[in-house]
Structure 1
Amino acid sequence: MKLAKLNGRPEIFYSIQGEGKSMGKPAIFVRTSLCNLHCVWCDTDYTWNWEKTPFKHVNDNKAGYSKYKKEEWIVEIDADEVLSKIKEHPCKRVILTGGEPLMQQKELTILAQLLHDDGYFIEVETNGTLKPAPDFDSIINQYNVSPKLSNSDNSVQLREKEDVYKFFSKSDKSSFKFVIDDPKDLDEVTNLISKYNIHPSDVYLMPQGTNGAALNQKQQWLIEICKKHGYNYTDRLHIHIYGDKRGV
């Protein structure tokens, strides 16, 4: 499977879950490379924003920023070796993240089966555009679905797949985390919740931001919206603790 590269090694690290339903829980992260979307504010753009691609990013005008050389940011590794690295840490919760993990579902099914057999609790973080296959779904404990809104700069055709939305909305393993940049984003969230019959208790609203100040600014009004509609508020706890860093 193709994982993101961190300091010359596969990006597998032990930290806490910073977002969503499991926020605050210790977990081992396995970051896959490759993504089928191109969110303009993505903080893991080293998994998809390759040289010679046309995608825009908020960092385009930042000094020193440039697109990534694909061959320099990917590590190929098999499931047994990933499992060995996971076992180095004293934790039984694994989060398959990305990029978009479900782009490598065949390879991850092998890994997930090994983890399942060894008693791990397995979370999958996904943008909700690719449907899990039955054999993969049967061994996954939790889906952290993060559907993208227009603020991501992805077209509706790319970001909203009706059959996939229906799959996740009907699964009791799913929660839905929406990244909110502006109050007007709530109109899109409301429409999606209604269209796909998503229960408010499964909805998590998270402010868009990569530093504590930006998150805190949006937190004030976003919490009030959650109280009004019965949604859950989720922060980005790892940003407050570690800053906008990799591998933590």
Structure 2
Amino acid sequence: MSNDLPLSPDMSPILKLAVLNGKPEIFHTLQGEGVSMGVASVFVRSSLCNLHCSWCDTDYTWNWEGTPWIHENDADPSYKKFSKAEYLQECSIELVAEEIQKFPCLNVILTGGEPLLQQEAWLALIHHLRRINPDYRFEVETNGTQIPTESFASAIDQFNVSAKLENSGNSAKLRDKPEAMRWFAHSEKAWFKFVIQSPEDLQEMQALEKKYNLPRHRILLMPEGRTEEALQKKRLWLADLCRDHNYRFSDRLHIQLWGSKRGV
């Protein structure tokens, strides 16, 4: 792997990150979902997304004031769309790297939003950190609609692909990008996580599995829910489906431990 990407202080790539308590949302916790669940990790949350899931728990990365997107929280009279100026912060890779190095952890998860909308800047960050310590490991959480560049893919250790189903509220044209899904299906670095809202979702998920020849041993099914109560209502029947159809089950560990909070 080449780490010789030139960086100039006056031409430092910029990352557009989500904001938490006035600072870029970078935090040290346990991975709560997917095949790396329970692994201590540093999360860096990007802003901006090309999809708009109705149950998204990071809607502050895309549901801007003046946009037409629909969210489940619209039913709450106190809910309102987010100010892009307040919830998006442009950061140099040097600043981001400095924040990451504050934590005694080498597993870094690039999340979002949709991280693959900012590949060039992420790649610069990765090379910068690996110059400091070559043992840094990087995972990317993506919706599976964007194709990684060759240089970006070679620098990433693991892709956590959360391909969306109809229950996300996105149209099939937006959420299902054949060229991108075929790329991930052929990557040994990719794991596939599907958010399941009802037992009927299994048929739709299996259609995608067949369409793209996804390796079953790399598929995880996760119950949809942003509260412990909502997750509990779906865990048992989804666990039964996973057992009966030979899929891996993924819970949402961070919801169990800390509830629906940011920065955990």
Q: Is the 8 A contact 1:200 1:229 kept in 2?
A: no
Letter in 2 for 1:65: Y
* 1:185 pairs with one of 182, 186, 201: 201
* 1:176 pairs with one of 183, 187, 192: 192
Deviation, structure 1 residue 101? 0.3
* 2:257 pairs with one of 238, 241, 244: 241
Runs of 4+ in structure 1 off by over 6 angstroms are: none
- Distance in 1 (alpha carbons) for counterparts of 2:61 and 2:115: 11
* Residue aligning to 1:37: 51
* Residue aligning to 1:7: 21
* 2:166 pairs with one of 145, 150, 168: 150
Secondary structure of 2:55's aligned partner: coil
* Residue aligning to 1:164: 180
* 1:87 pairs with one of 88, 101, 104: 101
1:123 aligns with 2:169: no
Q: Is the 8 A contact 1:116 1:122 kept in 2?
A: no
In structure 2, stretches of 5+ residues that fail to align are: 1-14
In structure 1, stretches of 5+ residues that fail to align are: none
Identity of matched residues, %: 52
Q: Deviations over 1:113-133 (max 9, x none)?
A: 223442211000000000000
Deviation, structure 1 residue 53? 0.5
Q: Is the 8 A contact 1:112 1:136 kept in 2?
A: no
1:206 aligns with 2:222: yes
Secondary structure of 2:72's aligned partner: coil
Q: Deviations over 1:65-114 (max 9, x none)?
A: 00011111011101111111100001010000000000111111101222
* 2:248 pairs with one of 221, 232, 236: 232
* 1:139 pairs with one of 155, 171, 180: 155
Alignment size in residue pairs: 248
What value does the CA root-mean-square deviation take over the aligned residues?
0.7
Letter in 1 for 2:145: T
1:222 aligns with 2:225: no
1:54 aligns with 2:54: no
Q: Deviations over 1:49-68 (max 9, x none)?
A: 00111000000011310001
Structure with larger Rg: 2
Q: Deviations over 1:115-157 (max 9, x none)?
A: 3442211000000000000010111000000000000010111
- Distance in 1 (alpha carbons) for counterparts of 2:137 and 2:107: 5
1:105 aligns with 2:123: no
- Distance in 1 (alpha carbons) for counterparts of 2:28 and 2:249: 24
- Distance in 2 (alpha carbons) for counterparts of 1:18 and 1:137: 23
Q: Which moved more, 1:222-231 or 1:18-27?
A: 222-231
